[in-house]
């Protein structure tokens, strides 16, 4: 076991998973080490080539696709694939899921989910010069099931017609003075442009509904000064909702009416803002010909503006004046009233898809962002707040390896800076002794900090202050791609990866690391320096998911870099649908309870032959009734992708026809995940065996066929895994297990008052007469299951392939909970403290694992979602160890483990929906 220096901790980067699939990972072109440098350069060139040709591919392909769709030629999936020319498949599918599920939890009477997607404000010049491109982009979004609410202006067209009729346009304070004649012409122009756009959409087979009036109510802004110009007082959503319900894109103008029915002219940008305040969309998009905001000095397009952090400084810039200052101020006032998930994009028509569906974006993105701080000491930040952050998030503190007091003491002994944001969603510590290279030793984000990209903002702040930086992370960190994206170079040794930026040559890296060694600032195992292979394009190879992508440059840098901005659009995590086949048993009932508490999963189907037609009372998110799904029903549902995941909670030997039906649907476009709770597929090589604590998470994340381990087998493997390298190869370990009677399964009993068959245990305490009953004394299936899987933890050799264990199961008169006693012969003499240390090290970062010194009691495990181990004792010979493990057979032995596997396969945090206060 490697020990770090006591002087400075290795970097803690406890970054949890993302609600979305992996984004592309590139190492920067300047990376100095080995083949990774060449790979990164080729990847960057490839990205530039895609950007260059992607728009032309899109225009040609989408035109063909939309025409084909109108004639019944191309399906939705074909159209989606055309987006892959703009970004990675995972980027596109992530944003599509977010947009199409943006308001699943809307209350009755709330605005339609489709209306939560985006409000698009279209400049009049675009209707004249880019009508075909605009119609193509809007039609494309609609074919994806999205309903952008379009509000257009007509300024240039109005000016042209006014001049033709001898009316000279007149403005006051930038507002068009509108008399009766001007308003009459304006109404005619707005109607003409509105119909022109709806006609162009309908030519592409997209239904559109013109709504020139009836949405905005206004009062006179200042009748004496501006004439018939209105100030919006309310927004009527009914015409918009009616259009969307009819399957039409709503096409609005900025004309309003007052209480007396007088039509009033309203600025289109202001109208779009008022519309957004009512609808609270994820995106407010302003389409213009320039395609964004441009820096007044450098002339470069501004990629991203984080208002909370940059607004004050930006408004003091000499080039920010007149119309630019007004627009930025209005956008800030708008976003201040909206959820932080909302953002504004200023973009050209031909880049709309790239802006919406890729991390790189294309125009100028404006979001609220977060206020950041940096302080030189714990006291300057606030020791009380920091103490809580370290207690809740730091793995060293949570595992008991260090106390918060020890960490605070270490910080006092070395110059450092603490970075973070005001709500403490991210805390980072950078150690920087005088004249030495800085090391980032802590990086502790909350879930909100990850989802809202504060992690990127804090890292950018660190990078501004430190031209070079080193940090480390676990080699198997599921977020490795995030580190690689931010590093100029890296390599991995002894289970940890070292990252750095700002150092141009390997020799210089070696010199710096040698200095770290001498001063005890980093692990010795990193010398000599050697290259590692970063997970470039990790998303396309099914590797680890990156919870984030690099933030685009800020307004101050105004860079045209292609760096991505991450989830700039929204933080809503896509919801997934689950079907449960076999819901009557104890495990099914526990799984229903977990899904009911899950923040992102919806139970849409529960199948039970005996309960068909009865309501599922235990599920409160929505009204669900039991059904009796046939194999044919399941196959059809899978083919049409009606659910995202199937859970088979059926007895052994029953689920194969259902699995075969879903497999057959896969060849026709079905994409659903299966988690099987029976033993039917635990020995199939093309199924993933889902015990995350022992066999890793990566395979499960990319798998669609997952076999849930058995309850006894889980307890047995967790007990034996830390000991595998130390077992006597010539003697067999044995496990004596006792389970509550719920483990024997259920049967139908008499019906209750509603006609429901009662679920009763097959074996009852009365049957057992208060005693313990051994059964299947040899060759129990869990014995074979545990032996087969544990072999994979040993080197491929004759002894490993011959590994086996003995298992004796028993049933007891308590309801749930398993206690297993392991007796294991050891290869060499060991002490109990050494054995306990093996368990502590193995399960130090596993939140569902509790390692203790005392013997765990079955009552401590009943109703709990975790696994407990303890009671380590070594025989006086030093060559035989006894260890005790306990878990609830219905939870960590079944339903909880199933939820872990579902979360991993569907892209959620592994512990979502699992009550962590019941471990």
Q: Each residue of 658-697: b (16+ CB within 10 Å) or e?
A: bbebbeebeeeebebbbbbbbbbbbeeeebbbbbbbbbeb
Please give the pLDDT value at position 76.
65
pLDDT at 622 over 70: yes
Angle among Cα 619, 625, 628 to the nearest 5 degrees reads 130
Please give the pLDDT value at position 371.
78
- Which residue did the predictor score with more confidence, 69 or 590? 590
Residue linked to tokens 């289970």? 495
Establish whether 849 is a catalytic residue: no
Stretch 472-479: mean pLDDT: 71
- Which residue did the predictor score with more confidence, 883 or 538? 883
Cβ pair 778, 754 in contact under 8 A: no
Q: How far is CA 607 from CA 421, 592, 658, 663, in A?
A: 47, 12, 12, 19
Stretch 331-337: mean pLDDT: 91
pLDDT at 286 over 70: yes
Q: How far is CA 106 from CA 103, 116, 183, 875, in A?
A: 5, 10, 39, 62
**How does pLDDT run across 62-92, given as a tens digit for each residue?**
555 555 544 444 456 666 777 766 766 666 7
List the end-to-end C-alpha distance of the chain, in Å, as a whole number.
Answer: 27
**CA atoms of 347 and 497, how far apart (whole Å):** 39
User: Cis ω on the peptide bond leading into residue 820 (within 30° of 0)?
Assistant: no
Please give the pLDDT value at position 736.
97
Give the β-pairing of 249-252 and 255-257.
unpaired
Tell which residue, 641, 650, 785, 646, has the closest CA to residue 704.
646
Stretch 442-447: mean pLDDT: 84
Q: What is the band of 820 on the pLDDT scale with cuts at 50, 70, 90?
A: very high
CATH number for domain 112-367, candidates 3.30.9.10, 1.10.287.180, 3.40.1160.10, 3.40.50.300: 3.40.1160.10
pLDDT at 113 over 70: no
Q: What is the band of 910 on the pLDDT scale with cuts at 50, 70, 90?
A: very high
Q: What is the band of 676 on the pLDDT scale with cuts at 50, 70, 90?
A: very high
Q: What is the band of 117 on the pLDDT scale with cuts at 50, 70, 90?
A: confident
Query: Can you identify the CATH homologous superfamily of domain 710-889?
Result: Dihydrodipicolinate Reductase; domain 2 (3.30.360.10)
CB atoms within 10 A of CB 452: 26
Q: What is the largest CA-CA distance in the chain?
A: 109
Report the share of the chain in percent with pLDDT over 90.
41
Please give the pLDDT value at position 395.
83
Please give the pLDDT value at position 57.
42
- Which residue did the predictor score with more confidence, 558 or 698? 698
The CATH architecture to which 372-522 belongs is: 3-Layer(aba) Sandwich (3.40)
* DSSP, res 178: B
pLDDT at 908 over 50: yes
**CA atoms of 461 and 420, how far apart (whole Å):** 9
**CA atoms of 662 and 659, how far apart (whole Å):** 5
pLDDT at 790 over 90: yes
Stretch 239-256: mean pLDDT: 93
Instruction: Classify residue 396 by burial, with Cβ atoms within 10 Å: 0-12, 13-18, 19+.
Output: buried
Please give the pLDDT value at position 572.
45
**CA atoms of 269 and 442, how far apart (whole Å):** 44
Length of the chain: 919
Cβ pair 439, 9 in contact under 8 A: no
pLDDT at 12 over 60: no
Residue linked to tokens 């905005």? 216
Stretch 795-812: mean pLDDT: 78
Stretch 241-246: mean pLDDT: 91
**How does pLDDT run across 719-747, given as a tens digit for each residue?**
999 999 999 999 999 999 999 998 877 77
pLDDT at 467 over 80: yes
Backbone angles phi, psi at 256, to 5 degrees: -125, 170
Mean of per-residue pLDDT scores for the chain: 80
Stretch 128-138: mean pLDDT: 90
pLDDT at 450 over 70: no
H or E stretch including 367?
Answer: strand 364-367
- Which residue did the predictor score with more confidence, 139 or 170? 139
Stretch 269-277: mean pLDDT: 92
Domain coordinates of the chain in residue numbers?
112-367, 372-522, 576-706, 710-889
pLDDT at 569 over 50: no
Cβ pair 744, 761 in contact under 8 A: yes
CA dihedral 746, 751, 757, 761 (to 10 degrees): -10
Please give the pLDDT value at position 26.
29
**How does pLDDT run across 840-884, given as a tens digit for each residue?**
999 988 999 999 989 999 999 999 999 999 999 999 889 999 999
| Residues whose CB falls within 8 Å of the CB of residue 8, separated by 6 or more in sequence, listed in order | 410, 414, 431, 439, 441, 520, 521, 522
Q: Which of 248, 711, 849, 898 is catalytic?
A: 711
Tell which residue, 93, 81, 79, 95, has the closest CA to residue 136.
79
Q: Which residues pair with 828 in a beta bridge?
A: none
pLDDT at 890 over 90: yes
Range from 546-555, 627-636, 893-902 carrying the lowest mean pLDDT: 546-555
**How does pLDDT run across 389-432, given as a tens digit for each residue?**
999 898 888 888 889 898 898 888 889 999 998 888 899 999 99
Please give the pLDDT value at position 575.
85
Backbone angles phi, psi at 308, to 5 degrees: -60, -30
Stretch 239-268: mean pLDDT: 93
Q: Each residue of 173-197: b (16+ CB within 10 Å) or e?
A: eebbbbeeebbebbbebbbebbebb
Q: What is the 3-state secondary structure (H, E, C) of 506-567?
A: HHHHHHHHHHHHHHCCCCHHHCCCCCCCCCCCCCCCCCCCCCCCCCCCCCCCCCCCCCCCCC
Query: Can you identify the CATH homologous superfamily of domain 576-706?
Result: NAD(P)-binding Rossmann-like Domain (3.40.50.720)
Q: Which residues pair with 739 in a beta bridge?
A: 811, 818
Stretch 700-706: mean pLDDT: 93
Please give the pLDDT value at position 557.
45
Ramachandran assignment for 173, one of left (phi > 0), alpha (psi -120 to 50 degrees), beta (any other):
left
| Residues whose CB falls within 8 Å of the CB of residue 508, separated by 6 or more in sequence, listed in order | none
Range from 62-76, 503-517, 604-618 carrying the lowest mean pLDDT: 62-76
Angle among Cα 637, 643, 648 to the nearest 5 degrees reads 85
Stretch 93-101: mean pLDDT: 69
Highest mean predicted confidence (pLDDT) among 135-149, 490-504, 765-779, 829-843: 829-843
Give the β-pairing of 818-825 and 734-740.
antiparallel
Tell which residue, 281, 147, 279, 911, has the closest CA to residue 600.
911
Highest mean predicted confidence (pLDDT) among 41-55, 718-732, 796-810: 718-732
pLDDT at 49 over 70: no
Please give the pLDDT value at position 107.
34
Range from 32-36, 243-247, 356-360, 836-840 carrying the lowest mean pLDDT: 32-36
Stretch 907-914: mean pLDDT: 91
**How does pLDDT run across 642-669, given as a tens digit for each residue?**
999 999 998 888 899 999 999 998 877 7
Backbone angles phi, psi at 56, to 5 degrees: -65, -40
Helical axes 322-335 vs 268-279, angle rounded to 10°:
10
* DSSP, res 894: I
Task: Give the gyration radius of the chain's Cα atoms.
Answer: 31
Q: What is the band of 513 on the pLDDT scale with cuts at 50, 70, 90?
A: confident
Please give the pLDDT value at position 678.
92
Give the β-pairing of 469-474 and 149-152.
unpaired
Q: What is the band of 525 on the pLDDT scale with cuts at 50, 70, 90?
A: low
Tell which residue, 431, 292, 332, 423, has the closest CA to residue 12.
431
Cβ pair 116, 280 in contact under 8 A: yes
């Amino acid at each position: 076991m490697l020990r770090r220096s006591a002087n400075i901790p290795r970097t803690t980067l406890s970054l949890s998973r993302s609600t979305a699939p992996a984004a592309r990972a590139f190492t920067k072109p300047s990376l100095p080490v080995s083949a990774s440098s060449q790979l990164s350069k080729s990847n960057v060139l490839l990205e530039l080539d895609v950007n260059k040709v992607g728009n032309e591919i899109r225009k040609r392909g989408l035109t063909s696709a939309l025409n084909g769709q109108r004639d019944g030629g191309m399906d939705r999936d074909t159209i989606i694939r055309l987006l892959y020319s703009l970004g990675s498949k995972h980027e596109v599918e992530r944003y599509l899921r977010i947009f199409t599920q943006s308001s699943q939890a809307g209350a009755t009477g709330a605005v339609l989910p489709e209306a939560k997607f985006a409000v698009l404000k279209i400049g009049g010049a675009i209707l004249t010069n880019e009508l075909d491109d605009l119609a193509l982009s809007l039609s494309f979004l609609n074919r994806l099931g999205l309903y952008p609410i379009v509000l257009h202006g007509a300024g240039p067209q109005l000016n042209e017609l006014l001049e033709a009729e001898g009316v000279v346009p007149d403005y006051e304070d930038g507002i068009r003075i509108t008399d009766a004649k001007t308003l009459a012409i304006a109404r005619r122009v707005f109607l003409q442009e509105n119909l022109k756009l709806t006609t162009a959409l309908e030519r592409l087979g997209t239904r559109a509904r013109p709504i020139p009036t009836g949405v905005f109510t206004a009062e006179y802004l200042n009748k004496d000064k501006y004439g018939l110009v209105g100030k919006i007082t309310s927004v009527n959503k009914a015409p918009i909702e009616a259009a969307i319900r009819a399957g039409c894109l709503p096409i609005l103008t900025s004309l309003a009416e007052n209480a007396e029915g007088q039509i009033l002219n309203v600025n289109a940008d202001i109208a779009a803002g008022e519309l957004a305040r009512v609808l609270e969309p994820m995106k407010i998009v302003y389409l213009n010909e320039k395609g964004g905001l441009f820096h007044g000095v450098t002339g470069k397009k501004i990629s991203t503006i984080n208002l909370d952090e940059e607004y004050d400084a930006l408004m003091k810039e000499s080039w920010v004046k007149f119309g630019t200052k007004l627009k930025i101020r209005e956008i800030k006032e708008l976003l201040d009233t909206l959820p932080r998930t909302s953002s504004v994009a200023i973009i050209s028509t031909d880049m709309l898809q790239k802006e919406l569906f890729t991390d790189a974006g294309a125009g100028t993105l404006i979001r609220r962002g977060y206020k950041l701080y940096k302080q030189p000491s714990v006291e300057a930040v606030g020791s009380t707040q920091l103490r809580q952050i370290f207690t809740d998030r730091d793995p060293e503190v949570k595992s008991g390896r260090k106390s918060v007091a020890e960490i605070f003491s270490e910080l006092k002994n070395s110059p450092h800076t603490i970075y973070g944001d005001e709500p403490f969603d991210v805390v980072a510590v950078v150690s920087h002794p005088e004249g030495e290279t800085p090391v980032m030793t802590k990086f502790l984000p909350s879930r909100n900090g990850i989802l809202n990209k504060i992690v990127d903002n804090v890292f950018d702040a660190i990078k501004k202050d430190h031209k070079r930086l080193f940090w480390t992370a676990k080699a198997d960190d599921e977020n490795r791609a995030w580190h690689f994206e931010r590093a100029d170079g890296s390599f991995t040794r002894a289970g940890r990866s070292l990252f750095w930026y700002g150092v141009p040559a390997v020799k210089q890296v070696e010199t710096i690391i040698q200095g770290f060694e001498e001063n005890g600032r980093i692990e010795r195992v990193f010398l000599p320096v050697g290259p590692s292979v970063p997970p470039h394009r990790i998303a396309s190879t099914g590797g680890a998911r990156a919870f984030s992508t690099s933030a685009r440059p800020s307004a101050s840098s105004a860079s045209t870099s292609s760096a991505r901005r991450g989830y700039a659009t929204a933080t809503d995590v896509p919801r997934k649908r689950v079907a449960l086949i076999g819901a009557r048993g104890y495990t099914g009932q526990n799984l229903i309870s977990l899904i009911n508490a899950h923040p992102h999963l919806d139970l849409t189907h529960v199948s039970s032959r005996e309960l068909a037609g009865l309501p599922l009372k235990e599920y409160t998110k929505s009204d669900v009734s039991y059904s009796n799904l046939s194999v044919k029903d399941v196959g059809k549902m899978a083919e049409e992708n009606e659910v995202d995941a199937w859970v088979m909670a059926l007895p052994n030997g029953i689920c194969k026809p259902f699995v075969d039906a879903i497999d057959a649907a896969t060849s026709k476009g079905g994409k659903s995940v299966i988690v099987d709770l029976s033993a039917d597929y635990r020995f199939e090589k093309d199924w993933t065996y889902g015990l995350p604590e022992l066999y890793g998470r990566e395979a499960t994340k990319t798998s669609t066929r997952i076999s849930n381990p058995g309850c006894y087998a889980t307890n047995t493997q967790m007990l034996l895994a830390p000991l595998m390298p130390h077992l006597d190869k010539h003697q067999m370990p044995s496990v004596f297990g006792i389970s509550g009677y719920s483990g024997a399964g259920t049967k139908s009993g008499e019906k209750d008052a509603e006609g429901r068959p009662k679920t009763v245990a097959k074996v009852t305490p009365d049957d057992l007469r208060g005693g313990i009953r051994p059964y299947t004394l040899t060759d129990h299936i869990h014995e074979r299951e545990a032996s087969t899987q544990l072999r994979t933890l040993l080197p491929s050799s004759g002894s490993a392939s011959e590994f086996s264990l003995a298992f004796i199961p028993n049933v007891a008169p308590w309801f749930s909970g398993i206690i297993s006693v392991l007796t294991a012969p050891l290869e060499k003499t060991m002490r109990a403290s050494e054995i306990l240390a093996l368990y502590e090290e193995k399960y130090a970062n596993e939140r569902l694992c509790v390692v203790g010194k005392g013997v765990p009691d079955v009552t401590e495990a009943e109703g709990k979602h975790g696994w407990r181990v303890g009671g380590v004792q070594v025989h006086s010979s030093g060559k035989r160890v006894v260890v005790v493990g306990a878990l609830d057979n219905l939870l960590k032995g079944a339903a909880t483990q199933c939820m872990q596997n579902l979360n991993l396969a569907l892209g959620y945090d592994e512990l979502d929906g699992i009550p962590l206060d019941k471990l």
